Copies of this chain bind each other. A is one copy, B any other.
Amino acid sequence: MTAEIWDVIIVGAGLSGLSAAHFLRKREAKLKILILEGKDRVGGRTVSSDIPAANGGVDVWDFGGQWVASTQTHIMELIKELGLEVYPQFNIGKKVLHVGGPPSKVRVYRTSIPALSLLVLLDLTQFLWKIDRLSGTVCVHDPLKTPNAVELDSMTLQSYIQQHAWTAELKEQLGVCSRSVFGMEPSQMSFLFFLMYAAAAGGVLALLESTPGCAQEFKIKGGTQQLSECLVERVGWKNVRLGSAVTAIWQDAEWARVKTNSDTFLCRAVIVTCPPHLAAKIHYEPPLPAMREFLTQNMPVGHMIKFIITYQTAFWKEKGFSGEIVTGSSSNSPFCVTFDATSPYGNPALVGFIAGQQASHWSPKEAGERREAVVSSLVKYLGPEAASFIHYEEKDWAKEDYSGGCPVNVMAPGLLTYYHPSLRKPCGRIHWSGTETATQWCGYMSGAVQAGQRAALEVLAEVCHVVLTAEEQEVLQQNQITRRQSSSKLMCLFIRKSVVMTTLTISAVLLLSRRHDVLMKIKTYLTNTIL
């Protein structure tokens, strides 16, 4: 049997792989590019599905990555190029917060400052200030250059929280943040990794908020899987093989041989885009350097179950709620966070996430039991109308073949400082992509696009011997630029936080002196102006 010959083979038809293919195709139209995908669909960690909606209709919702932000330049440019549209995440109205154990009061608030006691607010502010300052010192491109890198990498995010958050309530809330962002407990990741991740997004708050520039700012009309589908249209369906999981990559002086269970393909360069824990399952000949093997052995992926629940009316909006509910691990709620998910066509829905230890608890249970627990929590927080839903649909990413988890692989402690360069460093004819290898919005769809384009440039320069333009060379070097960008961005945050710190320090003094009337005024002031 003669093996098919291609110029470039891309492993994975997610956003990163398809962005790489699209970029290569635009730059060198004659390149023969083949994309091999294990799943029976394109899109990787994005998938958009039709489910029953209001008035007997159906509508489309995202069951994987869904949000984009104006600061995510790579994905925003792609959206524009592909002629897609974004719309803002709805976040107007009362938000619900439940931390501090089942017997504690469920708090409701309207601003971007959580309805916490002044003491916890003060704690939150000092904690964010510290962590944002540290995040500003991180060199995303080469974390070993970060001051105290070894020390920061030798502790878990949870250890830092234990040492630097003062109140149990804040500690619980930070657990919710970790679960929402990474699908993982703060005990599972390196603190330096967390700082690097935040730095790649421009700061910690950017990861958490739905305000302009932050991670939850916009959604894409018609769903995010369209991005991959539009890219395939441009790259050509004939160049994509679904249900073709790559099992081995052999390299010799002349070729890379990419094997699936049924075929072998020859090519000059391979771009592997799948998440690190899946890339680690491929058999490589000659073996990859030990440093890379050690690295990918230590990059656990998160565990997230995402659900969409559709309704006849957006009863929560009618009652003044935004749809945002944040619940801590002590609340007995199966989910950690929900948001309004009403479609751009007006079909009411909520979206929520069961993540981290909650996912490990709820994932093995019966679907009906899980749905009942979700609905009963929604009833508790938003009212009895939540029980009258049209349809409940969920996706457990741990059970998705050729994903095994979502949204992103993190790094366990002790890796960034020893093994990190192995993540992006090409191994012979193999180049590495996927959002985990990004230096801007690493872990997000935008990072997937950035990484795909960077890998494509590597292939063009090193394998196809194409002379890169000055601009393209700059893109290859932009890792260094990231550091300055995030530093300057951080300066603004630093100044903003300093003001808050001063104000809250005064509050603390007053708190200790029990001047309740003055305290209330300060809280109102804080609520309305600063943050």
Report A's interface with B, CB cutoff 8 A: 150-151, 153-156, 158-159, 162, 184-188, 247, 277, 280-281, 283, 287, 289-291, 293-294, 297-301, 303, 357, 360, 363-364, 396, 398-399, 401, 404-405, 412-415, 418-419
B281 touches A360 (CB 8 A): no
Contacts of A401 in B (CB 8 A): 287
Asked whether, in the complex, the Cβ of B290 is within 8 Å of the Cβ of A413, the reply is no
Contact between chains at A413 and B156 (CB < 8 Å): yes
Contact B159 A360 (CB under 8 A): no
Given contacts A281-B280, A412-B300, contact A290 B398 (CB under 8 A): yes
- Copies of this chain present in the complex amount to 2
Assuming the A-B contacts A158-B154, A360-B418, are A290 and B412 also in contact, with contact meaning beta carbons closer than 8 angstroms in the complex? no
User: Are B185 and A414 neighbours in the complex by a CB distance under 8 Å?
Assistant: yes
| Other-chain contact of A187, B154, B293, B303, B405 (Cβ < 8 Å) | B154
For the complex of A and B, the 9 pairs showing the least CB-CB separation, nearest first, are A154-B187, A187-B414, A290-B398, A188-B414, A412-B412, A154-B158, A159-B159, A297-B300, A155-B159
Partner of A188, one of B277, B280, B413: B413
CB<8 Å pairs between A and B, sample of 14? A151-B162, A153-B187, A154-B158, A155-B187, A156-B156, A156-B159, A158-B413, A290-B303, A290-B363, A290-B399, A291-B360, A297-B301, A412-B412, A412-B413
Residues of B within 8 A of A187 (CB): 150, 153-155, 413-414
Complex-state Cα separation, A399 to B414, whole angstroms = 21
B297, B414, B418: the one contacting A158 at CB < 8 Å is B414
Q: CA–CA, A294 to B303, complex, Å?
A: 9
User: Chain B contacts of A412 at CB under 8 A?
Assistant: 188, 298, 300, 412-413
Q: Which residues of the partner chain B approach A156 to less than 8 Å between Cβ atoms?
A: 154-156, 159, 413-414
B300 in contact with A294 (CB, 8 Å): yes
Q: How far is the CA of A418 from the CA of B447 in the complex (A)?
A: 30
* Chain B residues in 8 Å Cβ range of A398: 290, 293-294
**Which B residues are CB-close (under 8 A) to A188?**
298, 412-415
